[in-house]
Amino acid sequence: MSLFFPALNGRPGAERIARTATIALLIAAPFIIGPFGAAWVRALAFAALYVMLALGLNIVVGFAGLLDLGYIAFYAVGAYTYALLASPHLTENFPGLAHAIPHGLHLAIWLVIPLGAGLAALFGILLGTPVLKLRGDYLAIVTLGFGEIIRIFLNNLNQPLNLTNGPQGITMIDSASLGPIYFGKPYDVFGLFRMPPVYMYYYLLVAIAIVAIGVVARLQDSRIGRAWMAIREDDIAAKAMGINVRNIKLLAFALGATFGGVAGALFSAFQGFVSPESFSLMESIIVLSMVVLGGIGHIPGVVFGAVLLSLFPELLRHTVVPVQQQLFGRVLIDAEVLRMLLYGIAMVAVMLYRPKGLWPAPQHGLATPPGGQKARAMT
């Protein structure tokens, strides 16, 4: 909790209260916002997914200083891994597999997540290996091309063997389950109220996002995290200090991709449908915007940016469109067009006035010493 409330360090009572209030708010959020429409709860669930994606990209961009415009490809790898292993698609298109497994694979998500994360990490290493010596614009162009290659493959791998079903996507994907709890159906809680599936997924995704935050925080404070930051500042100096720059950069790509793979598998289970259009270049840019807008390299800032930008489209849909209909009788500017316009304006404003993000990392060593001006005057 001190990660998000650094001013409370050394005040265990206040930190305990802040922790309890945050947990209570996360638990009550669906019931507070649910009366305004299930779409808001769904937006909160997607915000948790974007938090995982932004944290993974922050490892590559914020910690290691490696620009990655194809990050959404790892999201796609995780999503399609679960879609293929938890749907009837393979058995419907491969008779030999249907004969061996007549009822289909339908693997549990907890078995597929490690596999999807591992495949995404492998793809991260495949991307990282040829770009180790690239920087700046060259690195951005290569990673952008990698993301587009993955999307085009997914869009065309429907012949001669129908592996991804092409642009039509894969449907009938199993929902996540945890023992007897099936997240795809509503549950009666003590006979008092019925909890819809979207509420169930919200709690699942928030719990996994909290675990992801803890993992990234531990990585940041570890020797590996400090090596990433040393490479970000000056990779030549880091190499001179004995850091294996090649392996540490590959590890950044692999671990960042792992978070994308986990988020992709959860997205596939949540949606019940995946298609290549969900993994376009624009998605990579949006996730990168979350990292930059919130505070690049700062975990609380990245979480804040992910939540802010993921809820913003829902806010526009519920405000801009009805207002235009009331004033003009029709929609003059589509909410999606206005969203991209405002994204662009926000990014330009942040680069001009808050280049380190809305919630930047604290500057160590710049705090006023005890005694303030008096202590400074005595020196």
DSSP letter string over 125-190?
A: HHHHGGGTT--HHHHHHHHHHHHHHHHHHHHHTTSSS-SS-GGG-B--PPPPEETTEETTS-EEET
> 43-47, 84-88, 321-325: which range is least confident on average?
321-325
Ramachandran category for residue 165: left, alpha or beta (phi over 0 → left; psi -120 to 50 → alpha): left
Reply yes or no on whether the pLDDT at 99 is more than 90: no
**Residue at 359: amino acid letter:** W
Instruction: Please report how the helices 38-58 and 72-85 are oriented relative to each other, as an axis angle in degrees rounded to 10.
Output: 120
Q: Tokens 């009666």: give the residue.
A: 188
Burial label, 70 (beta-carbon count in 10 A; 0-12, 13-18, 19+): buried
The Cβ of residue 38 has, within 10 Å, a number of other Cβ atoms equal to 15
Ramachandran category for residue 194: left, alpha or beta (phi over 0 → left; psi -120 to 50 → alpha): beta
- Which tokens hold the place of 58? 């922050």
Reply yes or no on whether the pLDDT at 1 is more than 70: no
The Cα 206–Cα 263 span in angstroms is 12
Q: Which residue has the higher pLDDT, 116 or 131?
A: 116
The Cα 39–Cα 37 span in angstroms is 5
3-state secondary structure of 193: strand
The Cα 323–Cα 301 span in angstroms is 31
pLDDT of residue 7: 57
pLDDT of residue 364: 55
**H helices, E strands: number in the chain:** 15, 4
Chain centroid offset of residue 106 CA: 25
What are the sequence ranges of the domains in the chain? 1-36, 37-279
> 34-38, 188-192, 205-209, 359-363: which range is least confident on average?
188-192
pLDDT of residue 4: 67
Of the spans 106-110, 111-115, 324-328, which averages the highest pLDDT? 111-115
The Cα 263–Cα 29 span in angstroms is 21
The Cα 92–Cα 105 span in angstroms is 11
Over the chain, what is the mean pLDDT? 88
- List, for residues 134-154, the tens digit of each pLDDT value: 887 888 899 999 999 999 999
pLDDT of residue 368: 45
The Cα 318–Cα 326 span in angstroms is 13
Reply yes or no on whether the pLDDT at 374 is more than 70: no
Reply yes or no on whether the pLDDT at 370 is more than 80: no
The Cα 235–Cα 129 span in angstroms is 16
- List, for residues 330-364, the tens digit of each pLDDT value: 888 888 888 888 888 988 998 899 888 999 988 75
Burial label, 190 (beta-carbon count in 10 A; 0-12, 13-18, 19+): exposed
- List, for residues 204-240, the tens digit of each pLDDT value: 999 999 999 999 999 999 999 999 999 999 989 999 9
